[in-house]
Amino acid sequence: MLTWIICLPLLAALLLTLVPRQNTSVIRTIAIGITAADMLLALGLFFAFDAAPALDGYKFVQRVPWIPSLGISYYVGVDGINLGLVVMGAIVAFAAACVSSEIKSHQKEFHILLLVMTGGILGAFASLDLFFFYCFHEFALVPTFIMIGLWGSGEKKNYATFQITIYLTIGALLALAGLILLYLQRPVGERTFDIVRMTRYFAENPIRAADQNLIFALLLFGFGILVSLFPFHTWAPLGYGVAPTATAMLHAGVLKKFGLYGLIRIALPMLPEGAKAWVPVLAWLCLGNILYCGWVAMRQKDLNLLIGNSSVAHVGFAFLGIASLDLIGVTGAVLVMVAHGFLAALSFGLSGYLFHATGTRDMTRLGGLLQQLPFIGTALVMALLAGCGVPGFANFVGELLVMFGAWKGSYSPHPHFYVAAVAWGGLVVAALYALRAIRHLLHGPTTEIAGEAQDATVWRRVPFVLLLASLICLGVFPRLLTDKIKASAEATLKFDSGKRPSPGLSVTAINPARK
């Protein structure tokens, strides 16, 4: 089933190569239909998950040896941690296919790339083999570059494409170096890229601390660059700023989560000592993401740049969840990943719609759009509010869990300081830029340029409704996912449990309560 989910888009991409380029409607129909089918399959997977039999804690497992001499096999399977990501990816892919109608040139190539990207993303998340895990990601990454370069818009297109390409390549390569090092830690003959077996092996035979530190650093910064960890984040807002909508949705929403997923799936369970050594650094960098990028977002006049920066800020929460070295935090991180996937896709999708409706993303030139575009406006309001952590949306739950986890986490002598700063960033700074955007874009009198915009037709609403519904559904019933995450996280991650920082701050005086 998983293999079908992965292969369906890839096969469809092959199929599309055979369709003559003039038949754009056929091409679009195939792309949308296939992604819809894929989404339904993924949803089926989601609902069949609980009942399915598990092998080593993974379900829907499929395994085909591929390069036995190197211990590489095609090995897919899901547990609670990647299930949500796979489903989210499939849903976002469908939404992205839906909004691709905005593409006016070379539709055929665009849709092929989109499908390839989808297949790659889903494959990366479903893989339980390190090598495939990495390959699928690369496989999805390249279409991203091409799509941004080819169909992107804006003056800075070339520079942005260049930047995103170089950045992500370097990040991926650093991570690859780390992964290979990890692979080599086992004695010759036993080496395997099988994540499950590696995890088990390294739990029993821990790697030397010095090696752990090195590998963790490589993975942290390699994956970190992929996820726009501060200060390697500048590619993200710019890249998304110029990217075509569907690409931005898929990349910011789904593909970017690959790095975070890698940290959770690989770095944390296999390199516990390295994690302990590096998370204090990571915790500081999170602040860079959440606070600093939040401030940067406050200054943006371009809606896409604002969303891009805020998306950078959001992944900071996932990083903090990872840095917390606490199961609550990690659960939260996974939830943030899924939630932000929907949210980023939604935001970029809406922003893309606005751009095509009004011809500009400059917020100073727009205003009062809520009157003109009630549906899109409302959806955008919801997206922006979800972004600043309003309950009812999945993001809130994730961020809450992250903060709870980080508060108790034993990663640093002053966890409370980070959480306080992060909460400030998430509650106040996020609200500042989100409301500012609403104020400029949607509220206030309607400007001339906004006056001619048309609201979305029913069909154009489908992707947005779907994404919003997913966000709200998970926000209201988080246990749909957290229960699954919880079980898997407990099974794979072992943190020094129970160590909680004492209240720590010494008492100067205790005033008797006046009563």
- Footprint (CB under 8 A) of another protein, residues 184-223: 184
Q: How far is the CB of 4 from another protein (least distance, A)?
A: 18
Piece of 23-31, 48-56, 140-148, 344-352 that binds another protein (CB under 8 A): 140-148
- 173 lines the binding site for another protein (CB under 8 A): yes
- 435 lines the binding site for another protein (CB under 8 A): yes
Residue with smaller CB distance to another protein, 258 or 396: 396
For residue 503, cis peptide bond before it (omega within 30 degrees of 0): no
Piece of 93-101, 267-275, 345-353, 436-444 that binds another protein (CB under 8 A): 436-444
- 455 lines the binding site for another protein (CB under 8 A): no
Residues 6+ apart with CB under 8 A from 476: 392
Piece of 49-57, 178-186, 247-255, 273-281 that binds another protein (CB under 8 A): 178-186
Quote the CA–CA distance of 274 and 240 in Å, as a whole number: 32
For another protein, the binding residues in 65-84 under the rule CB under 8 A are: 66-70
Residues 6+ apart with CB under 8 A from 423: 403
Residue with smaller CB distance to another protein, 32 or 404: 404
- 403 lines the binding site for another protein (CB under 8 A): yes
- 146 lines the binding site for another protein (CB under 8 A): yes
Piece of 277-285, 346-354, 449-457, 501-509 that binds another protein (CB under 8 A): 501-509
Residues 6+ apart with CB under 8 A from 161: 145, 148, 149, 152, 239, 242
Q: Which of 135, 277, 462, 473 binds another protein (CB under 8 A)?
A: 135
For another protein, the binding residues in 6-65 under the rule CB under 8 A are: none
Q: Kindly tell me the sign of the dihedral angle through the C-alpha atoms of 231, 399, 46, 469.
A: negative
Piece of 42-50, 258-266, 325-333, 343-351 that binds another protein (CB under 8 A): 325-333
- 1 lines the binding site for another protein (CB under 8 A): no
- 405 lines the binding site for another protein (CB under 8 A): yes
Burial (CB count <10 Å: 0-12, 13-18, 19+), residue 348: buried
DSSP state of 127: B
Quick one: how far is CA 122 from the chain centroid? 12
What residue spans of 359-390 are helical by DSSP H? 369-372, 374-387
For another protein, the binding residues in 148-167 under the rule CB under 8 A are: 149-150, 162-163, 165-166
Quote the CA–CA distance of 61 and 76 in Å, as a whole number: 6
β-partners of residue 76 are: 62, 127
- 513 lines the binding site for another protein (CB under 8 A): yes
Residue with smaller CB distance to another protein, 32 or 278: 278
For another protein, the binding residues in 460-499 under the rule CB under 8 A are: 478-479, 482-483, 485-486, 489-490
Residue with smaller CB distance to another protein, 99 or 401: 401
- Secondary structure (3-state) at 427: helix
DSSP secondary structure letters along 29-70: HHHHHHHHHHHHHHHHHHHHTTTS-EETTEEEEEEEEEEGGG
Q: Which of 397, 450, 466, 467 binds another protein (CB under 8 A)?
A: 397
- Secondary structure (3-state) at 73: strand
Q: Which of 299, 414, 494, 499 binds another protein (CB under 8 A)?
A: 299
- Secondary structure (3-state) at 129: strand
Phi-psi region of 368 (alpha: psi -120 to 50; beta: other; left: phi over 0): left
Q: How far is the CB of 238 from another protein (least distance, A)?
A: 7
Q: How far is the CB of 322 from another protein (least distance, A)?
A: 14
- 392 lines the binding site for another protein (CB under 8 A): yes
Residue with smaller CB distance to another protein, 104 or 299: 299
- 370 lines the binding site for another protein (CB under 8 A): yes
Quote the CA–CA distance of 249 and 8 in Å, as a whole number: 20
- 349 lines the binding site for another protein (CB under 8 A): no
Q: Which of 190, 448, 457, 511 binds another protein (CB under 8 A)?
A: 511
- 443 lines the binding site for another protein (CB under 8 A): yes
β-partners of residue 127 are: 76
Q: Which two tokens stand for residue 344?
A: 């980023």
Piece of 227-235, 267-275, 276-284, 450-458 that binds another protein (CB under 8 A): 227-235
- Alpha carbon dihedral 460, 249, 468, 456, in 10-degree steps, equals -20
- 427 lines the binding site for another protein (CB under 8 A): yes
Residue count of the chain, please give it: 515
Residue with smaller CB distance to another protein, 86 or 305: 305
CB of 31 closer than 8 Å to CB of 14: no
Q: Which two tokens stand for residue 493?
A: 């991650």
Residue with smaller CB distance to another protein, 52 or 298: 298
Q: Which of 308, 368, 387, 463 binds another protein (CB under 8 A)?
A: 368
Task: Choose among 298, 332, 315, 161: nearest CA to 226.
Answer: 315
Q: Which of 33, 44, 231, 359 binds another protein (CB under 8 A)?
A: 231
For another protein, the binding residues in 104-133 under the rule CB under 8 A are: 109, 131
Q: How far is the CB of 482 from another protein (least distance, A)?
A: 6
Quote the CA–CA distance of 55 and 312 in Å, as a whole number: 36
Q: How far is the CB of 314 from another protein (least distance, A)?
A: 16
Residues 6+ apart with CB under 8 A from 244: 100, 102, 103, 110, 147, 148, 151, 152, 153, 352
